[in-house]
Amino acid sequence: MRTPFLLVTRSCKAIHRLQQSAFVSPVSALYRHQTNSVLRNSSTVSCKDDRSYYITTPIFYVNASPHLGHLYSAVIADCLHRYKLLQGFNSKFATGTDEHGLKIQQAAAAAGKDPLTFCTDVSERFKHLFNRCNISYTDYIRTTEQRHHQAVKHFWSVLWNKGLIYKGSYEGWYSTQDESFLTALQVGDAVDSSGNEIKVSLESGHKVEWMKEENYMFRLSAFRSQLLDWLKGNPRAIQPEMFYQVVLKWLQEDLPDLSVSRQRSRLQWGIPVPGDAEQTIYVWLDALVNYLTVAGYPDIHNQWWNVAHHIVGKDILKFHAVYWPAFLLGAGLPLPQTIYVHSHWTVGGKKMSKSLGNVVDPLERSKQFTTDGMRYFLLRQGVPDSDSDYTDDKAFKLLNAELADSLGGLLNRCTAPALNPAQVYTAFCPQSFPSEQGGRAVGEDYHMLEAVKNLPAVVEQHYESMHVYKALEAISACVRQTNGFVQRHAPWKLERIDITDQRWLDTIIHVSLECLRMYGTLLQPVVPEISDKLLSRLGVQPDERGLADVNFLPKIRGMDCPFEGRVLGSDTGVLFTRLENLDRDKQNPKKTKKAKK
């Protein structure tokens, strides 16, 4: 990850010292037995309701307004949720805001507001953005809610009663920006923009401060081997694979116990430690429990908790793949099924930050590109394994090429009154396009059909592994092939008075409409509005849009096609209006005029 500071070197002077109190509770044989059975239950095959699915986004800090990166986490989760619904799953989808901690306390003070009013204001901004972008969450959690306080206190008490939390004192580095404790090896020297020498986190580049205080510690060190067992037994628990390897490496290094509270005198904005009003629960422990709160914890929660999947950015991997599973093992709860990790959006190769002034406002862009345009761009260009650089120009080009010209153009051709005056789902003629080579179809047409027939399986595999961009790449390639098919046979040149020509023309349109039905169905998780418009135009009813219904081109196999002969849906305008890049056009008026001509 890049750092905003000029110089970063590893500090040898930094000291990390952890003093444990005299009280040490043994991790008993009984407790070991419990964790082993939890590990068994956490395997991807056991103990889950096959029709339920639970997906979460990270909960978002409310110290600043939402930016493009936040929307990206939410859009990925929304896409997987919608995809699971299409597969017929009962899917729960949680998002929300992370509202406690020093960072929020300081931001509220700087804004001159009481913390809860401040949190409510910013939380509403996230909600507004998500509603506007069709993020179809089923639960929006705020950590300031009562239900969450109860869950966190219960969770703490379980860990405490098992002897996994003890009172100690922590002395070491703390990053308020990351709300994270760091060892000496994770800290480096840097110079800030005013020329002052400071210490920073080597991972995030954020400033760190020395901290020394009494607090509660969690016996993280006791969980190293169980965590390794979990990962070795579940190689797909963390995806993509490169992040799985990162976590394995962390677990081979030193894993010190973790401070899980702060002195109340320093941090008032948080949940008090049960039974000790002088301490506040560490914001990450508090925040991670949100996933359980939504599942119904501490009451009935198994239906959802046994099938939990988390979407997280790479910067918060350690919290989710090391601390969280260790807490869960400690509390005797199953571990998440999958932790899907994504990389970041940068601007000009740099991390988005207020100080650099390169933050991209997702609300403004979703107005400019439309909601579906924004969603499509993020998922088509965002690569989980590596950072993606954002520019407006890329968005204009991609959306115009793939949504307006390619997909929109194809629909336009097949439904234009000139080619389809009856406005129907035309008939397929097996003599013109037999299942084996022959008729008027050529080899390339059969290749195209093969690709489209295999598309659901290809797309499914990519959606399941969060490589949405690969799914979209595959769909886009098929759309291009279908356009090639229409272009090759130029149906507008056919003599319609000739009955065989008319049949061939109808067949070309039928095949193209079938392809479009596939694309519309498979694109629903990514661009729900465009897909709805497309499928409605084809006359595909809402209950015919599931993945189980996507029986492609049955007529070529001698089966009935339920759509054949149906009247098309009404024409509600172009599928995706071409976007004009006004900024670029202003800078390059000549180029634009030429391009338009």
Residues that bind ligand MSP (CB under 6 A): 58-61, 69-70, 72-73, 98, 287-288, 290, 312-313, 315-316, 344-345, 352
Nearest residue (CB) to ligand MSP, 313 versus 325: 313
* Nearest CB to ligand MSP, comparing residues 184 and 317: 317
CB of 73 to ligand MSP, least distance (A): 4
Token pair recorded at residue 108: 């509220």
Which is closer to ligand MSP, CB of 466 or CB of 575? 466
Helices 324-331 and 224-233 pack at an angle, to 10 degrees, of: 100
**Cα-flanking dihedrals φ and ψ of residue 571, to 5°?**
-85, 115
Q: Dihedral (C-alpha) 313, 316, 321, 323: value to the nearest 10 degrees?
A: -160
CB of 329 to ligand MSP, least distance (A): 17
Smallest gap from residue 222 Cβ to ligand MSP (A):
22
Minimum gap (Å) between residue 497 Cβ and ligand MSP: 58
Q: Which 3-state string (H, E, C) describes 42-78?
A: CCCCCCCCCCEEEEECCCEECCCCCCHHHHHHHHHHH
Q: Which is nearer to ligand MSP, 61 or 369 (CB)?
A: 61
Query: How far apart are the C-alpha atoms of 515 and 129, rounded to whole Å?
Result: 33
Using the structure block, give the residue that is written with the tokens 């005013």.
Answer: 194
311 beta partners: 340
Tell me how far, at minimum, the Cβ of 350 lies from ligand MSP, in Å.
10
| Closest distance of CB 331 from ligand MSP, Å | 16
Whether the CB-CB separation of 311 and 77 falls below 8 Å is answered with yes
Residue number, nearest CB to ligand MSP: 313
The Cα 337–Cα 500 span in angstroms is 56
DSSP, residue by residue, 256-319: --EE-EEETTT--SSPEETTEEEEEE-HHHHHHTHHHHHHTTTSS-HHHHTTEEEEEEGGGHHI
Smallest distance, Å, CB 352 to ligand MSP?
A: 5
If the CB atoms of residues 51 and 354 are measured against ligand MSP, the closer one turns out to be: 354
Q: How far is the CB of 123 from ligand MSP (least distance, A)?
A: 12
In degrees and rounded to multiples of 5, residue 596 shows phi and psi of -65, -40
CB-wise, 191 or 359, nearer to ligand MSP? Answer: 359
CB of 187 to ligand MSP, least distance (A): 20
CA atoms within 13 A on the CB side of 61: 19
Q: Any idea what DSSP says for residue 558?
A: T
Helix (H) or strand (E) holding 84: helix 68-86
Would you say 148 or 153 has its CB closer to ligand MSP?
148
Q: At what angle do helices 362-369 and 371-381 cross, to 10 degrees?
A: 110
Q: Closer to ligand MSP by CB, 291 or 563: give it.
A: 291
Residue 356, both tokens: 């650099």
- Decide whether 218 or 345 has the Cβ nearer to ligand MSP: 345
Tell me how far apart the alpha carbons of residues 266 and 591 are, in angstroms, rounded to a whole number: 59
User: Is residue 213 within 8 Å of residue 256, measured between CB atoms?
Assistant: no
Nearer to ligand MSP, 200 or 288 (CB): 288
Beta carbon of residue 71, minimum distance to ligand MSP (angstroms, whole number):
9
Q: With respect to ligand MSP, which residue has the nearer C-beta, 287 or 322?
A: 287
Report angle CA 35, 38, 42 to the nearest 5 degrees. Answer: 135
Sheet holding 388-390, edge to edge: 350-351, 345-347, 388-390
Nearer CB in complex with ligand MSP: 72/170: 72
Alpha helix ranges (H) inside 436-498: 443-464, 468-489
The CB-of-308 to ligand MSP minimum distance in angstroms stands at: 12
CB of 437 to ligand MSP, least distance (A): 48
